[in-house]
Amino acid sequence: MGEKKSCYVTTPIYYASGNIHIGHTYCNVCADTIARYKRMMGYDVRFMTGSDEHGEKIQKKALEAGLSPKEYVDKIASSFKEVWKAMNISYDYYVRTTDESHVACVQKVFTKLLEKGDIYLGKYEGWYCTPCESFFTDAQVGEGHLCPDCHRPVHWESEDSYFLNVKKFVPDLLKFYEEHPSFCRKDKLNEMINTFIKPGLDDLCITRTSFDWGVPIKENPKHIVYVWIDALLNYVSALGYESGDDSLMEKYWGKDTEIVQLAGRDINRFHTIYWPILLMALGLREPDHILVHGLLLTKSGVKLSKSLGNAPSPYPLIERYGVDSLRYYMVREMQFGEDGAFTPTQFVDRLNADLANNYGNLVNRTLSMVNRYFDGVIPTYRSPSSPLTLEMMEKAFSKIEEYVSLMDKYDITSGAGKAMELLALGSKYFDDMAPWNLAKEGKTELLEETLYAACELIRMGSILLSPVMPEKTKEALDQENVPEELRSFEKIKEVGKLSLIHVNTLSPLFPRLKKDEELSFLTKLIDGE
């Protein structure tokens, strides 16, 4: 366990410009897994997500829908909240950039930096990509005048604008990177340094006058704050920064807080360059980690995205497979930090191998033998007599340690893998002990020891997997009727307290999927074989 006892976990705030697709849900599922893990480890966690509701793109979308921008984003924000509920995302606060408190915060920050001289009035000319809401240089757009991020055509824009004095902070930013190697993965950060910082970072144009759906600055209201500056400030406006009440800032943006911010690699630039600079300008501390995650791609390597129309909604998957199976697949199949394809075959294979055949099967086998041989009552615990039991328990304990060390490094993919390895010890143990033979041969004590140990294994594995699959792990613990106090991580190694518990009726946790049927269902949703 780390020294810091409070933890602030954030996701990017999602553009309120359309529906959430499974690509988007990836980030929130990973953040939720981290937030739940930290809570399980005793941290006082504040987990934040929200919606990014300003900007030209959204104004245009609202117009197309025949709604005012506010009506449009109200609808979208409530649809986002419904998705997060369906995905069991345990956020503590949902920020909207149209919230009065957020708008006031952005305006105060602007005034503060203008007074400090870190914002100044100038003229902006450059290549602008409307879908990405970003300006680019000649070199970045190349001869084809295409956006380097989304590869769509950019157009030339020129307007009076306010600028953030980015150049001034570059030496401090580089020093900060040097001194904080765990701020961001080295390869992801080097990519930013080489692509954006080394060629020379310009001061950032941070207001627009060509449209009006955004936060107007107090000093000159025809200027609207650039949507990215508006959006980034959500991370502190959500804690009441500049609201007159500093209590949440002190608690969750203080020096003793572990600040963990997730962002997809497509928005790495804003989170590892401009966000730290804004914080430096404001005299606020930097986050401990920007966890840059990869993107969900189709089998042919294309990003699942709203604008490309190749990304399914999560709802049909939740309905058919259950939310926890979808969450597990995302966390376990794609190495956190790397891109990964979402393919029907991998999806079915992963669910069958890990959930139906490993976890589900262990629960099913163990509890049905407890029913068959002991009338549904977990046998009394005795110190193990068989070396196989001792060895299995020892291995289980070391899997727990390995899980913790991986999860503490935010390697949630390998962490979930360790939990599965712990459960897989069960199958091997059953094969070695052959409890059905012990029953036949009347070796009751050894049979009791075997089933008791398997019940403990289910309890431990379920605790470790609970941040990823909060519902299914609860169901497993409920089926085993594990008392509430033995479900906490703190008690995970307290073996011996399940004696004489009456297990509940059994229903399969994860049905085994018929591959052909599922592939035909899934290939209609997702591009794949």
Instruction: Give the interface with ligand ME8 as residue ranges (CB under 6 A).
Output: 12-15, 23-24, 26-27, 52, 231-232, 263-264, 266-267, 295-296, 303-305
CB atoms within 10 A of CB 144: 8
Q: Are 407 and 37 in contact (CB under 8 A)?
A: yes
Nearer to ligand ME8, 124 or 226 (CB): 226
Closest separation between CB of residue 403 and ligand ME8, Å? 24
CB atoms within 10 A of CB 236: 22
Closest separation between CB of residue 129 and ligand ME8, Å? 13
Coil, strand, or helix at residue 308?
coil
Burial class (CB in 10 A: 0-12, 13-18, 19+), 266: middle
CA distance 329 to 56: 35
Q: Are 183 and 263 in contact (CB under 8 A)?
A: no
Nearer to ligand ME8, 95 or 406 (CB): 95
Nearer to ligand ME8, 113 or 433 (CB): 113
Coil, strand, or helix at residue 96?
strand
Closest separation between CB of residue 137 and ligand ME8, Å? 21
Nearer to ligand ME8, 24 or 418 (CB): 24
By Cβ distance, which residue is nearest to ligand ME8?
264
Nearer to ligand ME8, 49 or 364 (CB): 49
Nearer to ligand ME8, 264 or 426 (CB): 264
Task: For residue 314, give both structure tokens.
Answer: 């999560």
Nearer to ligand ME8, 337 or 415 (CB): 337
Strand 134-136 to strand 119-129: parallel, antiparallel, or no bridges (unpaired)?
A: antiparallel
Does an H or E element contain 125, and which?
Answer: strand 119-129
Closest separation between CB of residue 292 and ligand ME8, Å? 9
Nearer to ligand ME8, 27 or 404 (CB): 27
* Ramachandran region, residue 242 (left: φ > 0; alpha: ψ -120 to 50; beta: rest): left
CA distance 343 to 526: 7
Closest separation between CB of residue 80 and ligand ME8, Å? 9
Closest separation between CB of residue 279 and ligand ME8, Å? 13
Nearer to ligand ME8, 278 or 463 (CB): 278
CA distance 127 to 193: 21
Task: For residue 207, give both structure tokens.
Answer: 């207001």
CA distance 433 to 425: 12
Closest separation between CB of residue 457 and ligand ME8, Å? 34
Closest separation between CB of residue 466 and ligand ME8, Å? 24
- Looking up tokens 């935010």 gives 410
Closest separation between CB of residue 311 and ligand ME8, Å? 6
Nearer to ligand ME8, 303 or 365 (CB): 303
Residue 286 identity (one-letter amino acid):
E
Coil, strand, or helix at residue 212?
coil
Closest separation between CB of residue 485 and ligand ME8, Å? 38
Nearer to ligand ME8, 294 or 511 (CB): 294
Task: For residue 501, give both structure tokens.
Answer: 């518990």
3-state secondary structure labels for all residues of 227-279:
HHHHHHCHHHHCCCCCCCCCHHHHHHCCCCEEEEEEEEHHHHHHHHHHHHHHH
CA distance 267 to 16: 16
Closest separation between CB of residue 263 and ligand ME8, Å? 5
